[in-house]
Structure 1
């Protein structure tokens, strides 16, 4: 069996299969991941994302993103601070909301804002909302996220967490073909301990991690 794509462990087990793909669970970091041979191609993935209708003028979408923006802002010092929204999507909105709070925002998205130069710097905080579950190479992408955060800075993540592996087979969140990496409370605790991060869980789907000074 292949190594875990997040922590590299060989201690993995088959979890469940549906009509489209198999899923495996790492017994070290608790990541659940889809069979890599079933990943969509870049063009197929882009077609799915093109159907998203995210809009900064959508009040409901702003309220949804506020579940991350509000608790993150309470932990940040007063502006000016620099932030990067990683995986900003076709209708960047969180960056707009944080800019309205006075923060200097930059965006990056591999399909819609792929200016790689922004990945060469570091930021006081990095946000990643509804994107980490799309990571095909989570070890590489997690390492990039950490490198982008300045010492003492914050990484804010929003993703649906696996709460019951027995119920995973019937979980709607796995049915999106672009969702391939499924994190849990245990996964983020593992990463925090391994990488020396402080971790806080806010509600059911927001994770705030602070990098040491």
Structure 2
């Protein structure tokens, strides 16, 4: 069956991996690896997985984890600029860290903070930590975030990256049933070219994209 890439809408996708749980396709244009739509969880089952998360700004370990994105992004921001944490989850923490650093930060999450009015504003930076791998329509959703950036603004993403078919086959990241899209450096490079962004990779699971 022909499957359309959810990032670039190409029909040039091919089987990449298969296990007892799911199938995985890879796009020949943008290199996104994705799960077929028919194998995604429904909203109730997806929410049930997220409800098990116990993230909190009071957890030093979680703050250290988020610092992988916070540190390189905050170093690039002018004092006092405003941001948005997209997909903040049930325990918003990165937004708290930016607020503490003097950056007013709105939050949005389709399950836990669904005030879509924040998506109508413009921001100097937008973050999405451990979010893009959950998106059903990453092409549309990420393009909308880029559109919400001010000129020179930053989109900071945290997600683990595909490296090789061999590594993918034994990768713990694909065991989470809510993970349906898997990006590589090549995927982010394609996305940056498509949207006229500058791309940087400050860590193995962090990418910074700057709007021109």
TM over 0.5: same fold? yes
1:45 aligns with 2:58: no
Cross-structure match for 2:10: 9
Checking the alignment, whether the CA contact within 8 Å between 2:17 and 2:165 is kept in structure 1 is: no
Q: Secondary structure at the match of 2:75?
A: helix
Cross-structure match for 1:24: 25
Shift of 1:143: 1.3
Checking the alignment, whether the CA contact within 8 Å between 2:3 and 2:36 is kept in structure 1 is: no
1:171 aligns with 2:171: yes
In 2, the alpha carbon distance for the partners of 1:35 and 1:205 equals 24
1:146 aligns with 2:146: yes
Shift of 1:165: 2.2
In 1, the alpha carbon distance for the partners of 2:143 and 2:120 equals 13
In 1, the alpha carbon distance for the partners of 2:90 and 2:148 equals 22
In 2, the alpha carbon distance for the partners of 1:40 and 1:124 equals 33
In 2, the alpha carbon distance for the partners of 1:8 and 1:75 equals 32
- Provide structure 1 residue ranges, at least 5 long, that are not aligned to the other structure: none
Q: Which runs of 4+ in 1 moved over 2 A?
A: none
In 1, the alpha carbon distance for the partners of 2:151 and 2:157 equals 17
1:189 aligns with 2:174: no
Question: What is the total number of aligned residue pairs between the two structures?
Answer: 211
In 2, the alpha carbon distance for the partners of 1:146 and 1:71 equals 19
1:92 aligns with 2:112: no
Cross-structure match for 2:71: 70
In 1, the alpha carbon distance for the partners of 2:128 and 2:85 equals 6
Checking the alignment, whether the CA contact within 8 Å between 2:23 and 2:35 is kept in structure 1 is: yes
1:107 aligns with 2:107: yes
TM-score by length of 2: 0.98
Cross-structure match for 1:132: 132
Shift of 1:33: 0.1
In 2, the alpha carbon distance for the partners of 1:175 and 1:147 equals 32
**Cα deviations by residue, 1:81-124 (Å, 9 ceiling, x for unpaired):** 11000000000000000000000110000000000111111111
Shift of 1:70: 0.6
Q: Secondary structure at the match of 2:125?
A: strand
**Cα deviations by residue, 1:178-199 (Å, 9 ceiling, x for unpaired):** 0000000000001111111000
1:202 aligns with 2:202: yes
Shift of 1:170: 1.3
In 1, the alpha carbon distance for the partners of 2:45 and 2:206 equals 28
1:117 aligns with 2:147: no
- Provide structure 2 residue ranges, at least 5 long, that are not aligned to the other structure: none
